[in-house]
Homo-oligomer: A and B are copies of this chain.
Amino acid sequence: MQSIQQSFKVDFSYKVFFTRYLFSPDNHVFRDYLLSQASGALIKKLLFVVDDGVAASHPQLISQISAYLQHITSFDLAGDVILVPGGEACKNDQALFYSLVDKIDEQRIDRHSFLVAIGGGAVLDLAGMVAAVSHRGVRHIRIPTTVLSQNDSGVGVKNGINYKGKKNFLGTFAPPAAVFNDIHFLTTLQPEDWRAGISEAVKVALIRDAAFFEWLEEHADVLVNGDLPLMQELVYRCAALHVAHIGGGGDPFESGSSRPLDFGHWSAHKLEQLTGFVLRHGEAVSVGIALDSVYTSLLGWIDETVAWRIVRLLHRFRLPVYHPLLEEQQGTPSPVLKGLQEFREHLGGRLTICLLKKIGQGAEVHEIDETLLNKAVELLKENYATK
């Protein structure tokens, strides 16, 4: 019997730029990038998709974009800037997805043109999916506008939309062409969104960088009150850790079962879904981190005091560390705990959950002891349910 072995490598690379006032006339960051992508006399197109929450808070943005692009002759704005509703709802809306595909078609966006998305993680996930599957992939530039998307989702390689209420059921791995983090956008966030993104920083610090965790402890109170320079540092450090993990972790497209960046996420995903996404991703992750940290201490892997030190930090960031859905519901097991099974399925293969070896280092387990987990829930309830 004959066979042919196919094997090849594909290189992926992109830059994450950190700047302020990206579309101000004297800011050259975006222009320089575009010029690096120009090819001769060919005029490339830019189709902009903007989160309406961002547009509302930055009323000059759209006119700034067109003014900025007017001087870049090798790129053209393709039609009007498209506004889409910000937040999770946009990932549930199949008609919206296809309306963006239609725009790609109408505006003749080809594989050398760009879809540029400006917004929170939800809009970026939707636009990224549209770009990834249109013409088998048009180039995609991300301009994240929330703490979460600047320090985590926007700098990574995933996109996704929800399907029949199942979070990210449809999506792909598709690295962006470039990412532009403009810190100014963060000044108009709701306080809840400002804080929610911080939980991903706590997460990545816990599994990768003890010094960063200590830095977060040191600056928690100033950070939570809206200090922009400190947030800039947080975003940079957290984004750098995510980028390094994805590029250096050996499995950027997650073909194995190991996903250390998902520390605290198995319960978070389920909590988001059960609350109909009233709980923000970052808030749910905060609960998940608290739960898995206390659970880790009950396993004896970290000291109890360490677990509570983690919970306390989240609490100082005014992030939730407990949720009633973690508990038994009138005699039936907690619906969140059932999420463990779904998490395994979404990943496939063996159940693999990241816990902590110590602050700054993750470690994996392949089973969860439900009695201890329930105990962790109880302890969190006792200590934090009413705080």
In the complex, whether A9 has a CB less than 8 A from a CB of chain B is yes
A366: min CB distance to chain B, Å: 11
Compute how far the CA of A111 lies from the CA of B17 in the bound complex, rounded to whole angstroms.
33
A207-237, CB under 8 A of B: which get 1 and which 0? 0000000000000000000000000000010
In the complex, whether A384 has a CB less than 8 A from a CB of chain B is no
Q: Contact check, B105 vs A136: say whether CB atoms are below 8 A apart.
A: no
Q: Contact check, B1 vs A6: say whether CB atoms are below 8 A apart.
A: no
Q: Contact check, A133 vs B9: say whether CB atoms are below 8 A apart.
A: no
Q: Contact check, A172 vs B136: say whether CB atoms are below 8 A apart.
A: yes
Q: Contact check, B16 vs A4: say whether CB atoms are below 8 A apart.
A: yes
How many chain A residues sit at the interface, stated as a range, is 35 or more
Partner of A172, one of B8, B11, B137, B164: B137
A40-54, CB under 8 A of B: which get 1 and which 0? 101000000000000
A77: min CB distance to chain B, Å: 17
Q: Contact check, B171 vs A136: say whether CB atoms are below 8 A apart.
A: yes
In the complex, whether A257 has a CB less than 8 A from a CB of chain B is yes
Q: For A12, what are the chain B residues with a Cβ–Cβ distance below 8 Å?
A: 6-10
Q: Contact check, B3 vs A11: say whether CB atoms are below 8 A apart.
A: no
A365: min CB distance to chain B, Å: 16
Which of A83-91, A186-194, A268-276, A341-349 touches B?
A341-349
Number of copies of this kind of chain in the complex: 2
In the complex, whether A319 has a CB less than 8 A from a CB of chain B is no
Q: Contact check, B15 vs A349: say whether CB atoms are below 8 A apart.
A: no
A360: min CB distance to chain B, Å: 20
Q: For A42, what are the chain B residues with a Cβ–Cβ distance below 8 Å?
A: 349-350
A90: min CB distance to chain B, Å: 17
A170: min CB distance to chain B, Å: 5
Closest to A17 in B: B3
Compute how far the CA of A163 lies from the CA of B135 in the bound complex, rounded to whole angstroms.
10
Q: For A9, what are the chain B residues with a Cβ–Cβ distance below 8 Å?
A: 9-12
A40: min CB distance to chain B, Å: 8
- In this complex, which of A132, A175, A347 has the most chain B Cβ atoms within 10 angstroms of its Cβ? A132
